[in-house]
Each structure stands twice: as structure tokens, then as C-alpha cells.
Amino acid sequence: MSAFIQQLPALIGVVIGALGSYLAIVRGDRARFRRERTARWEERRLAVYADYARSLKKSVTLAYRVASHLGNDPHPHPLSPEEAEPLLAEATLARDPSGEALILLGSPEVVERARAWVVGVMEMEQFLRDGTRDPQAWQTLLERQRAGREGYYAAVREDLALPPGHSARWPVQPVQHT
């Protein structure tokens, strides 16, 4: 029995070491799982954020083209309201599912900034549906929409801990024909 008692401290040390190793591995696995889960959700949120921006930008581009037809915007490819109507309806319908995904996965700040952006776009669309010909008022709506877009992108970058990005505001110079 005295041999067993002599070996008991070593045996206790092995058991304690095994338990310590087990606990360290379990904690490491849990931490890795949390990091991977967070990364997966961030990737999904980025995809939802980008999809929403693309769907809204499609509406904006169509609005530029219709505004050009009405004489409010210098877009080089004017589109009559009649030609644009089915395209605008399609773009609006495409916004709905991406907007729902945004509400589901987006942070409250991003969703609020998305709402501000889409309200600006909807004001532009109403302006065009009314057939308004007022380039100055159109410019005011454009600035509101651009500020909404900039706010949305800033909120997305903050939510995903991305570095600051470009404001996407740059003057478009008229094309010089030679």
C-alpha cells in the first residue's frame, strides 16, 4: 500500500493535468466556434447590405434616366416615363425582398439609415411620376438621396467594423468632343 501512496501525488498530478488540458481544449473550441459563427453572420450581413444597395441603386439609375428625359438631369441615356414604368415597377418589387432581409439581419442603425435612403429615392420617384420639370428641385432631391446613401454606407462600415470608405461624391465632368 505504501507504494500506491508514494505514487498517489504523481497520479493526482496526471489527473489534474488531463483535466486542465481538457478544459483548455473545450474553452478554445468554444471561442473558435464563436469566432467562426460571428464571421459567418458578418458575411451574410455584408451580402444582405450589398444586395439592398444594389436593388436601391437600380431604382436610382432609372430615376436619373427619366429625369434626363424630363430635362432635369444630364444623364446620357434618357428614358421616357412610359418606357421606364415597367422597369421602375420591377426595381421596386426587387427592393422588397432585399429590404426584408435587411430588416431581419441588419443592425438597427443600418436599418434606420436604409430607411432614410429609400425615402429619398421614393421622393425622387414621386417627383418623376408627377412629371415635374425643375432641375433645381431635382438637384435638391439628388443631394438628399446621396446623403442617404452615404449615411447607409457609413452605418454598414461601422456595423461590420470596416475601415472608412470613399464618399462616392465626385464631380462628373462633361465629355469633351474633339
pLDDT at position 178: 52
> How far, in Å, CA of 98 to CA of 11, rounded?
61
| Three-class DSSP category at 151 | helix
> How far, in Å, CA of 62 to CA of 99, rounded?
19
Does the pLDDT value for residue 176 go beyond 60? no
Average pLDDT over residues 48-68: 96
- Model pLDDT for residues 119-158, shown as the tens digit of each residue: 999 999 999 999 999 999 999 999 999 999 999 999 999 9
pLDDT at position 3: 81
- Model pLDDT for residues 8-39, shown as the tens digit of each residue: 788 788 888 888 888 888 788 787 877 777 66
